[in-house]
Structure 1
Amino acid sequence: MNAGRLVGIAGFVVVALFAAFWIGATIWYFGDENPDRLEDREWVAGAEALCAQVRDQLERLPAARDAVDLADRADQIEASTAVLAGMTANLAAATPEGDDGELLGLWLGSWDVYLDDRRAHAEALRAGDDLQFRVSVDPERNEGVDALLDAFADRNQMPSCGDPLDIG
């Protein structure tokens, strides 16, 4: 067997192992064993439907990035934040018991922090501070709460329930 053929076989084995690793990691990440996965899939479906309706509602509001001045921008952020606060209140009211309830409590807690960040940003705009929107960082995970919202929503197939990215 020549060296070129050995290199080709070795390359194929490396690619196959790499593919097997990523397939396995994907199954673990999105599979039933993920600790962030909610068991109550009916709740998940209902949450996704609610969040999708809220996203549609947010799209009908004036975009904060299109505001004519800081006060207008603050008004638009406050209006969309009120819609999101209503969404999270509805999600909290329907939260199931048990392990799912605990997970959802943590996620909704991150939503509370995120909504407070939005309110603080609107207040800063009203005070004349034209700063970039910043979210709080979760000290345990060292990530912004927006990333935590998105990760949990993604892991549970609720893409509409993540950060709406509407502040811009």
Structure 2
Amino acid sequence: MTGRRVAGVVGIAVVVLFAAFWIGATILLFGDENPDRLQDREWVAGAEARCAEARDALDRLPQARDAVDLVDRADQIETATDVLAQMTADLAVSTPSGDDGELLGLWLGSWDQYLGDRQVHAEALRAGEDRQFRVSVERGEGVDALLDAFADRNRMPSCGDPLDIG
């Protein structure tokens, strides 16, 4: 083997060993579970069912994008927001205790902020301001992204942002 070839093999071996070290260290230190994953999978299944029920109710409502004017659009957003508020209230009542309860408290807090953002948007529409829907930022991300990320991590696809405002 030439010196150049040996250096290449050694370089590749170093990269592979470095990657293996960090993968092993990450699994050892943090486990192979996501820290945002809820342990109470029964609660997760019930939450997904409740969220799917709310999504079905939203699907039956007139869509805000089909409104005839700003006031009609605001009315539709408020009606849909009421459905989501009831959904989150139901989820909050059944929240387990312990670590899962702490995680859910943060997620439900993001839902509260998101519902408030929807109400602010409806009020702006009523005041004649035709603008794009804006969400609050928490922990460096839009609350809608936080809702979706937590729902995705816990396999609750119906519990994310309903994307109904358009």
Say yes or no: TM over 0.5.
yes
Aligned to 2:163: 165
Aligned to 1:83: 83
TM-score, normalization by structure 2: 0.83
CA distance in 2, matches of 1:52, 1:154: 14
Matched, 1:101 2:101: yes
Aligned residues: 165
SS state at 1:105 partner: helix
Identity across matched positions, percent: 73
TM-score, normalization by structure 1: 0.82
Q: CA deviation at 1:73?
A: 0.3
Aligned to 2:128: 128
CA distance in 2, matches of 1:135, 1:56: 23
CA distance in 1, matches of 2:96, 2:135: 28
Q: CA deviation at 1:68?
A: 0.8
CA distance in 1, matches of 2:100, 2:62: 35
RMSD: 3.0
CA distance in 1, matches of 2:99, 2:71: 43
**Amino acid in the other structure paired with 1:164:** P
Structure 1 moving runs of 4+ over 3 Å: none
Q: CA deviation at 1:53?
A: 1.1
CA distance in 2, matches of 1:85, 1:165: 15
SS state at 1:49 partner: helix
SS state at 2:65 partner: helix
Q: CA deviation at 1:150?
A: 0.6
Please, which runs of 5 or more residues in structure 2 have no aligned partner? none
